[in-house]
Amino acid sequence: MLVLERKILSRAGRWGRIALLALCGTCFTAGELRAQPVIKSVFPSAAQQGKTITVEFRGSNLGNAYALWADSPGLEGLVKPAESIDEPPAPQSRSAEPNSKSARPPQPVVVQLRVDAAARPGTHRVRLVCPNGLSNAISFFVTDQPVEMEAMQAQHTPKDAQAAQVPALINGRLDKSGQVDGYSFMASEGDELNFEVIQTQELKPRLALLGPSPSWFSTERLERHLFVEERQSDLVPTEARGTFRVPRAGRFVIQVASLFGQGSVDSTYLLAVSRGDNAPRRVSPPSSEWHERSFTREIESSWLSSVQARAFKMQELGALSHVVEPTVAAAVPDGGEVDTRLSADTAQASNADVIDGKSESGIALPAILEGTIGKPADIDSYRFNVRVGDEIAIEIETPETHLPAFNPWVAILDSENREVFSNLHRRVSLFNNNAERQVYIAEVVPKIVHRFEKAGEVTLQVRDITSKYGDATYRYRILVRPQVPHIGEISLGGVDYLNLERGRAGRVTLTTSYEEGFSGNATFVFSGLPSGVQAFPSDTVVDRKAPTQITENAQTVLAPTSETTLVLAVSPDAPLTRMPQVVRIECRALEQGKLGPALLVRELPMMVVAEGEKKP
């Protein structure tokens, strides 16, 4: 175990620095030295609990794969020879030679996969173990209902659509350009049907629903029916999903296609068709990652305690109150109490609902505000008092409709209705046609911080930035609280596994956010390293300013960050690892010469493999 501090490279360690720089001369990141095993697709990509199926993994550099590695329990696999697989010929380019070695794609890796009856429903991450290391992770879906496979015959017309029973979970593949798969089913008048592509690989799917036509020319004619979401909004959907209420009984066909008609042998999908609330169960996989600046993280009563756990020391913030807009069901997370006292003008308010809390002059902080932008141009308003020097943080969650459909604009107004600050990230364009300074809105952010220089009553307003959209799904949950200096998100730059070559060194760069005025240092601890592997600190880049240098409100909407590079050196005689070994990375805050509690950053599977061929 090695503790790495940001200022560990002092002047007293000059010879250690020189030795480290010599070591860094052979540093590499994943993929720089030898070909890494890469999985592009797995098919089938779903299975029912308690079933054993045969699946094919496709990708590159997967030769001689000998084991399956799952990030969570419940999945086991036995790698089998792939000689019996009938591999389709690869399309050749015009310049390709008839006998070219690249004319035939790599053979798939065939695995007999067993899903335990107690496996968690939802998405699991699986990898292959090869002589050249561990592969990337790919998603595999586990469900408690049967999985139906796409039939091999053509399904390009509604008449040829494959028959299915609702509820259905169908695993298919669009292996040709322009291919459209169709699945037919019978529905009764009044049925509420839900359609969703819950998992894809190398594919951007689109859904279309066909159903009976009221035309008397042909009773068998099918016409396009719009989903409820398509009729309510003109926004381009970002996900392949929709709801439909059946107006008349008959035969319906749900079609699955690819954006721009693209398709390949790796383009797979998992389509769920359900009636009412019978959608497939999906339990989120456990994760050690801390997501703070995200509209989808859950702001509940326990969130404030989780933030304080990342601080150097606990602070007394007072009792947390809940304020619920009248149009929202009075259901509060974690069984908290609902503050339902409203000001006298609330019932008559049309554009702005002013909700007062525990005192006549405003809401008592900290507080969770919960409401809905129920119609276009709707504005919700909440009042609270501030004192000179008060430092507050405002965190925003959109539980149901997310970006880019719902863009919550949260602004703080003073007593004269002037904006003090908001969650709009404003950037400055230095040059235009007239060489004038112009400001533009870059994005809406899920968290803002501010220090008040004037005392008085302020108003928090919530709206959609476009003023064109709003309905019952445009829900928000906002936490307004005093600031808690703490360590925020820690990113590894997308690294979720490590393959280290014997006798060489690799590096991992950690980007740490310093939230709400945290002024200490971040230290990191590695534990569980394989035998012969050591961790060393490299240079640390400290950024006390926000990442964007040209901006108007960087300190309000963005947190300062620092980057720490950790070098992992493998000795020439380190033993090779046949199976991955899980390594833990922990972070501890260092402030005023004292260490804070340990925070788990990530658990990474790591392998030590043989040194690759040296390049001339």
What's the whole-number mean pLDDT along residues 324-331? Answer: 56
Span of 173-177, 469-473, 536-540 with lowest mean pLDDT: 536-540
Looking at the predicted structure, is the pLDDT value of residue 329 above 80?
no
pLDDT of residue 554: 86
- pLDDT > 90 in the chain, percent: 57
Q: Please provide the average confidence, as pLDDT, over all residues in the chain.
A: 82
Report the distance separating Cα 194 and Cα 313, nearest Å: 47
Per-residue burial over 101-122, b if 16 or more Cβ lie within 10 Å, else e, is eeeeeeebbbbebbbeeebbbb
In this predicted model, which residue has the larger pLDDT, 613 or 322?
A: 322
Strands 561-570 and 581-591: unpaired
CA dihedral 589→591→593→599, nearest 10 degrees, is -10
**What's the number of CA atoms in the CB half-sphere (13 Å) around residue 398?**
25
Counting every residue written for the chain, the total comes to 616
Span of 119-133, 185-199, 434-448 with lowest mean pLDDT: 434-448
Looking at the predicted structure, is the pLDDT value of residue 32 above 60?
no
Assign 62 a pLDDT band (cuts: 50, 70, 90): very high
Give CA 596 to chain center in angstroms.
28
Report the distance separating Cα 541 and Cα 375, nearest Å: 47
pLDDT of residue 154: 59
- pLDDT > 70 in the chain, percent: 80
Strands 321-324 and 352-355: unpaired
Structure tokens, 411? 């602004």
Assign 557 a pLDDT band (cuts: 50, 70, 90): very high
Backbone angles phi, psi at 157, to 5 degrees: -125, 155
Q: What are the DSSP E strand ranges found in 301-437? A: 321-324, 338-339, 352-355, 367-372, 379-386, 391-397, 408-413, 419-422, 424-429
**What's the number of CA atoms in the CB half-sphere (13 Å) around residue 138?**
26
- CATH top-level class for 148-275? mainly beta
Domain with CATH 2.60.120.380 in the chain: 148-275, 316-483
pLDDT of residue 440: 85
What pLDDT, in 10s, does the model give residues 231-278?
Answer: 877 777 778 999 999 998 999 999 999 988 999 999 999 999 999 877
Report the distance separating Cα 616 and Cα 613, nearest Å: 9
Assign 31 a pLDDT band (cuts: 50, 70, 90): very low
Tokens 């709009």 correspond to what residue?
A: 424
Domain at 2-30+488-609, CATH homologous superfamily:
Immunoglobulins (2.60.40.10)
pLDDT of residue 29: 43
Q: Tell me if 540 sits within 8 A of 564, measured CB to CB.
A: yes
Report the distance separating Cα 371 and Cα 194, nearest Å: 26
pLDDT of residue 264: 93
Tokens 């308010």 correspond to what residue?
A: 349
The architecture CATH gives domain 316-483 = Sandwich (2.60)
Report the distance separating Cα 29 and Cα 35, nearest Å: 12
What's the whole-number mean pLDDT along residues 188-206? Answer: 94
In the chain, what is the straight-line distance between the N-terminal and C-terminal CA atoms, in Å?
37
Looking at the predicted structure, is the pLDDT value of residue 82 above 80?
no
pLDDT of residue 107: 82
pLDDT of residue 68: 96
What pLDDT, in 10s, does the model give residues 505-556?
Answer: 988 999 999 999 998 889 898 899 999 999 987 767 776 655 555 678 888 9
Report the distance separating Cα 276 and Cα 266, nearest Å: 32
Report the distance separating Cα 151 and Cα 304, nearest Å: 51
CB within 8 Å of 366: residues ≥ 6 apart? 304, 317, 318, 320, 321, 479, 480, 481, 482
The helix (run of H) or strand (run of E) holding residue 592 is none
